[in-house]
Amino acid sequence: MNYKVGSLFAGVGGVCLGFKNASHESANYELVWANEMDAHASKTYQLNFEHDLIVGDIEKIVKPERAENAQEQLHFENKKQQILAQPIDILTGGFPCQAFSIAGARKGFDDQRGNLFYSIINLVSDLEKTSHKPRILFLENVKNLRGHDKGNTYQVIKQEIERIGYTVKDVVLNTKEYTNLPQNRERMFIVCFLNEADAQRFTMFDRLHEFKKDHSEVNRRDNISRVLDLKADKSKLQSYYYSRDKYPNYFISESEYASLPAAKRRKERINITEQIDQEFEFYQVRRGMYVRKNSSGVCPTLTANMGTGGHNVALIKVKDGVRKLTPAETFKLQGFPVGNGYQLPENMSNGHLYKQAGNAVSVDVITLIANEILNVLQAGD
The percentage of residues in the chain with a pLDDT greater than 70, rounded to a whole number, is 94
Judge whether 240 lies within some domain. Answer: yes
Rama region for 288: left / alpha / beta (φ>0; ψ in -120 to 50; rest):
left
Residue 177 shares a structural domain with residue 45: yes
Query: Which structural domain, as residue segments, surrounds residue 210?
Result: 2-216+357-380
Indicate whether 51 and 187 sit together in one domain. Answer: yes
Residue (of 303, 296, 302, 301) closest to 280 by Cα position: 296
Residue 174 DSSP SS3: strand
Please report whether residue 61 resides in a domain. Answer: yes
pLDDT of 373 higher than 60: yes
Confidence class for position 135, pLDDT limits 50, 70, 90: very high
Q: What is the pLDDT of residue 365?
A: 98
Q: Does any domain span residue 338?
A: no
Q: Picking from 148-157, 259-268, 315-324, which range would have the lowest pLDDT averaged per residue?
A: 148-157
Q: Confidence class of residue 100 from pLDDT cuts 50, 70 and 90?
A: very low
Q: Where are the beta strands (DSSP E) in the chain?
A: 2-8, 28-36, 52-55, 90-93, 136-142, 167-174, 186-193, 283-286, 290-293, 315-318, 321-324
Average pLDDT over residues 297-317: 85
Asked if residue 116 is part of any domain, the answer here is yes
Tell me if 182 is assigned to some domain.
yes
Of the candidates 16, 97, 192, 299, the residue annotated as catalytic is 97
Q: How many CA atoms lie within 13 A of 22 on its CB side?
A: 28
> How many domains does the chain contain in total?
2
Based on the fold, state whether residues 43 and 138 are members of the same structural domain.
Answer: yes
pLDDT score recorded for residue 170: 98
- For residue 247, the SS3 value is coil
Would you place residue 309 in the very low, low, confident or very high pLDDT band (cuts 50, 70, 90)? Answer: low
Q: How confident is the model at residue 156 (pLDDT cuts 50, 70, 90)?
A: confident
Above pLDDT 90, what percent of the chain? 80
Tell me: do 146 and 270 sit in the same domain. Answer: no
* Ramachandran angles phi, psi of 307, nearest 5°: -80, 0
- The enclosing domain of 59 has a CATH number of 3.40.50.150
For the chain, the average pLDDT equals 92
Q: Is residue 123 within 8 Å of 164, Cβ to Cβ?
A: no
What's the CA angle centered on 7, arms 6 and 11, to 5 degrees?
155
3-state secondary structure of 7: strand
| pLDDT over threshold 50, residue 315 | yes
Residue 225: pLDDT band with limits 50, 70, 90: very high
Give CA–CA dist 46/37, Å, rounded. Answer: 13
Write down the pLDDT at residue 78.
97
- Per the domain annotation, does 348 fall within a domain? no
Same domain, 77 and 180: yes
Same domain, 196 and 237: no
For residue 109, pLDDT beyond 60: no
Q: How far apart are the C-alpha atoms of 282 and 158, rounded to whole Å?
A: 37
Nearest Cα neighbor of 194 from 360, 377, 53 is: 377
Residue 111 has pLDDT above 70, yes or no: no
Instruction: Indicate whether 53 pLDDT > 70.
Output: yes
| 212 & 320 share domain | no
Report pLDDT for 311: 58
Is residue 264 very low, low, confident or very high in pLDDT (cuts 50, 70, 90)?
Answer: confident
This prediction's pTM = 0.93
User: What does the pLDDT look like over 330-353, one tens digit per residue?
Assistant: 999 999 999 999 999 999 999 999
In terms of domains, do 207 and 293 share one?
A: no
What is d(CA 106, CA 87) in angstroms, rounded to the nearest whole number?
35
**Cα–Cα distance for residue pair 272/250, rounded to 1 Å:** 6
What pLDDT digit, counting tens, does each position of 167-220 carry? 999 999 999 999 999 999 999 999 999 999 999 999 999 999 999 998 889 999
pLDDT at residue 308, as a whole number: 72
62 assigned to some structural domain = yes
- Asked whether residue 34 falls in the same domain as residue 153, the answer is yes
- Looking at the structure, do residues 63 and 195 belong to the same domain, yes or no? yes
In this predicted model, what pLDDT tens digit does every residue of 359-372 receive, in sequence order? 999 999 999 999 99
Give the pLDDT band (50/70/90) at residue 101: very low
Examine residue 345 and state whether it is found in any structural domain, yes or no.
no
| Element at 363 (helix H, strand E) | helix 363-380
Asked about 16 being catalytic, the answer comes back as no
Residue 104 pLDDT level (bands cut at 50, 70, 90): very low
Same domain, 78 and 160: yes
Q: Are 163 and 346 in contact (CB under 8 A)?
A: no
More reliable by pLDDT, 96 or 129: 129
Residues 239, 193 share a domain: no
- Give the pLDDT band (50/70/90) at residue 148: confident
